[in-house]
Structure 1
Amino acid sequence: MSTTVYVALGANLNDPVQQLEDAVLALRTIAENNAVTISPLYRSVPMGDVEQPDYVNGVASFNTNLTPMALLEALQHIENTQGRVREVRWGPRTLDLDLLLYGQECIDTPRLTVPHYGMKQRSFVLIPLADINPQLILPCNTELTHLITSEMRAELVQL
């Protein structure tokens, strides 16, 4: 059975826009009928204290027959294929793909937490997510649009 998933896209190295475009092509290979919906892209300030370039972020949505763990492995394979190196937490990266939502499931394992643990506080996730599904209700029964503040909207610049 197919499940609707939402994946956060982020990059700030090696032509970030191209990195995200390449990632979307790779996501099509795991999406049902190769269909992927993509939000507009936004420029955002990096999280944490690591000196690095601004990020380009967006969100993708698609249906998949992969299990949550198989999807996580597929996302990490795409990251690795595009040169992702995990050296510093919240450091610069060629590509970051985070599984935000897997249908309405709640998953809490050592390798995977869904809904994504930080998504409710991150403008670079919430705003692109609302761009592609403004009526979305999270598994905790919170309406997505109730989480977005005017301060969050001011933090991002649409490309």
Structure 2
Amino acid sequence: MDLKEIQNLIKFVSNSGVAEVKLETGDVKITIKTTVEGSSPEITYVQQAPVAQVAAAPASAAAAPAAAAPSAPAADDSKYVTIKSPMIGTFYRKPAPDKPVFVEVGASIKKGDVLCVVEAMKLFNEIEAEVSGKIVKILVDDMSPVEFDQPLFLVDPS
């Protein structure tokens, strides 16, 4: 491949609107990266870094109904304490796949009890209860991605 062909390829890729093209022919390897107009070139979320872009849409779509559900019965939930995720990661209800869940709906908890684990960058962080009370609702499914400050549990402190 000569210089003229490479220049033509760069022009073609930049006009096509494609973000990245990799070409391998024989002993030549070319990678051309461009930014699509009207988009931010480098927005990366830690939990989505290894995930393909196709999988990013369902993850955000799954998070939207979970976030909308608590706001609908907001009047009833006002007396409950919401325990939120302190970080972005993956929510796990069990310490290991072969172990029982930390808590169930209706379980009595004390301040400092472990409620779940949030995995972020291969580190498993135990999320502890901020208050004593009874678990009223678990707002996130097991093995689901969670955002910073996303509600995880509703606790009745009385």
Q: Which has the higher contact order (CA 8 A, sep 6+)?
A: 1
Instruction: Bin the TM-score by the shorter chain.
Output: under 0.3
Q: Is the strand fraction higher in 1 or 2?
A: 2
TM-score calculated relative to the size of structure 1: 0.23
Which structure has the larger Rg over C-alpha atoms? 2
